[in-house]
């Protein structure tokens, strides 16, 4: 056995995205203890910068020490108790994962289905909550990575509040790439991932919960079934904003120290660019890609106005071999794009323009390569 060498790729799929060189450098900083005062100071800075990224003042804002799927489980396992009625909107793969969580934690799942490639229909949500007035939670995906559809989170949260429902929102692909305003929109629980528009390595899941969601957790009648993801325990390590700031943090687990160095640097980069500038950059590069692809005769899965700028799903042109073309892109050009999932397998390509990879050079690189296929 020898050290493993990796061929550099240009990552233009649904994630992970290319990692910024400054973040790669930050990962190599000396490892220190997870209760070292220096590390605690950095955790506080990460919390503050995540509040900026999420546009929230929520005290319970932190990074779960695991990928976005664990962020999802954290929100569901803490807010759902057996018998709770939860309305789940499904318009792609990741809505189905929400449904799985509700069922595994003993909740009663009420499903709203929308066609893949379309956004969550607000009227269906209104009608369902009117019919199920005892529902505790509305759960939906803001940015459906499997299709490239971006639902209207602001409107959906307004409807949920009207029926006194908490909201759980999947923002794995939207954080730092599309407008996302937790406090303004009234989102109660949200989760994301570091490996998409933050340009960081996979393995951490930023989350944020409102005061209303925290009260729900504190007033649970049953114990959270996951020890590791129990926020009542993790709060004491990250700090929930209610304790004495000078009090020592309680040991919960050995945090992924070097990965958190990377997240800290990713958030510094976001602050330097400015959140609105990051949103604008993703949008402008989407428009450039859109023009290039449409010149080649390709059609988008999602209608204009509902598209994610950072995740572009297009129908594979008739007669083109999905697997063969993606293999050639990887082997000949070192470019990775994404395949379709589930119902879309073999039918669509998912082209990502996330974070550090959202650049005009990459747009021209992938479209030039596709023209040669």
Identify whether residues 261 and 287 lie together within a single domain.
Answer: no
Question: Which is it for strands 143-144 and 149-150: parallel, antiparallel or unpaired?
Answer: antiparallel
Q: Cα(26)–Cα(139) distance, rounded to whole angstroms?
A: 35
Indicate whether 266 belongs to any domain: yes
Residues 145, 226, single domain; the answer is yes
Burial bucket for residue 315 (CB in 10 Å: 0-12, 13-18, 19+):
middle
Query: Are 258 and 284 members of one domain?
Result: no
**Tally of domains within the chain:** 2
In tens, the pLDDT along 277-321 reads 999 999 999 999 999 999 999 999 999 999 999 999 999 999 999
Alpha-carbon gap, residue 356 to 51, rounded angstroms: 21
What are the residues facing 349 on neighbouring strands? 314, 339
Helix (H) or strand (E) holding 284: helix 275-295
**Domain interval for residue 259:** 21-270
Report CA dihedral (349, 22, 332, 16) to the nearest 10 degrees.
Answer: -30
Q: Does residue 204 share a domain with residue 286?
A: no
pLDDT of residue 240: 56
Q: What is the CATH number of the domain that holds 40?
A: 3.40.640.10
Contacting residues for 335 by C-beta, under 8 A, at least 6 apart: 9, 10, 12, 329, 365, 366, 369
Coil/strand/helix, residue 307: strand
- The reply to whether 198 and 306 lie within a common domain is no
Q: Which residue is listed with tokens 């379709």?
A: 340
Are the C-beta atoms of 266 and 200 separated by less than 8 Å? yes
**Which value, in Å, is the radius of gyration of the alpha carbons in the chain?**
21
* Domain contains 102: yes
**Predicted local confidence at residue 241, as pLDDT:** 44
Examine residue 55 and state whether it is found in any structural domain, yes or no.
yes
The whole-number pLDDT of residue 242 equals: 46
Which two three-digit tokens encode residue 213? 């969601």
298 lies in the same domain as 242: no
DSSP readout, 230-253?
-HHHHHHHH--SSS-TTSPPPP-S
Boundary-marking domain end, from 211, 240, 270: 270
pLDDT 10s digit of each residue in the chain, 373 long? 899 999 999 999 999 999 999 999 999 999 999 889 999 999 999 999 999 999 999 999 999 999 999 999 999 999 999 999 999 999 999 999 999 999 999 999 999 999 999 999 999 999 999 999 999 999 999 999 999 999 999 999 999 999 999 999 999 999 999 999 999 999 999 999 999 999 999 999 999 999 999 999 999 999 999 999 999 888 888 875 444 445 567 788 889 999 999 999 999 999 999 999 999 999 999 999 999 999 999 999 999 999 999 999 999 999 999 999 999 999 999 999 999 999 899 999 999 999 999 999 999 999 999 999 8
229 and 333 part of one domain: no
Residues 264 and 290 in one domain: no
Q: What are phi and psi of 149, to 5 degrees?
A: -95, 140
Residues 253 and 302 in one domain: no
Query: Among 212, 235, 270, which residue terminates a domain?
Result: 270
Please choose, from the candidates 312, 309, 353, 314, the residue with its C-alpha nearest in 3D space to the C-alpha of residue 335: 353
Among candidate residues 92, 151, 150, 191, the one with its CA nearest the CA of residue 283: 150
53 and 194 housed in the same domain:
yes
304 burial via Cβ count (<10 Å: 0-12, 13-18, 19+): exposed
Q: Say which DSSP state 167 is in.
A: E
Task: Pick the last residue of a domain from 218, 253, 270.
Answer: 270
Decide if 1 is inside a domain.
no
Are residues 279 and 139 part of one domain? Answer: no
Secondary structure element (H or E) that encloses residue 275, with its range = helix 275-295
CATH of residue 346's domain is 3.90.1150.10
Same domain, 238 and 279: no
180 lies in some domain = yes
Is 184 inside a domain boundary?
A: yes
């Amino acid at each position: 056995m020898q050290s493993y060498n990796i061929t550099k790729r240009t990552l233009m799929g649904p994630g992970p995205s290319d990692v910024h060189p400054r973040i790669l450098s930050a990962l190599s900083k000396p490892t220190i203890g997870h209760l070292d005062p220096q590390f605690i100071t950095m955790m506080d800075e990460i919390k503050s910068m995540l509040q900026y990224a999420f546009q929230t003042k929520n005290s319970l804002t932190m990074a779960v020490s695991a990928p976005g799927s664990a962020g999802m489980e954290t929100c569901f396992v803490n807010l759902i108790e057996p018998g709770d009625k939860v309305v789940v909107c499904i318009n792609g793969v990741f809505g189905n994962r929400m449904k799985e969580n509700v069922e595994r934690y003993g909740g009663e799942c009420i499903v709203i289905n929308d066609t893949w490639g379309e956004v969550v229909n607000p009227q269906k949500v209104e009608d369902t909550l009117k019919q199920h007035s005892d529902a505790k939670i509305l759960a939906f995906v803001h940015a459906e990575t499997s299709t490239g559809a971006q639902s209207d989170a602001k409107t959906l949260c307004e409807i949920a509040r009207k029926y006194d429902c908490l909201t759980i929102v999947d923002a794995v692909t939207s954080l730092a790439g599309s407008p996302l305003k937790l406090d303004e929109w009234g989102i109660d629980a949200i989760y994301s991932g570091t490996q998409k528009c933050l340009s960081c390595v996979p393995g951490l899941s930023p989350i944020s919960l409102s005061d209303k969601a925290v009260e729900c957790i504190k007033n649970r009648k049953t114990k959270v079934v996951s020890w590791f993801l129990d926020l009542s325990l993790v709060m004491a390590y990250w700090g929930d904003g209610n304790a004495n700031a000078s009090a020592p943090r309680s040991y919960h687990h050995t945090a992924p120290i070097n990965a958190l160095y990377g997240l800290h640097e990713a958030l510094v980069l976001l602050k330097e660019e400015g959140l609105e500038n990051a949103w604008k950059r993703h949008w402008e590069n989407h428009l450039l890609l859109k023009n290039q692809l449409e010149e080649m005769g390709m059609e988008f899965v999602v209608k204009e106005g509902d598209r994610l700028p950072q995740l572009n799903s297009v129908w594979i042109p008739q007669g083109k071999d999905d697997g063969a073309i993606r293999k050639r892109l990887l082997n000949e050009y070192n470019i990775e794009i994404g395949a379709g999932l589930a119902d879309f397998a073999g039918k669509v390509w998912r082209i990502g323009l996330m974070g550090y990879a959202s650049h005009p050079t990459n747009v021209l690189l992938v479209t030039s390569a596709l023209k040669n296929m």
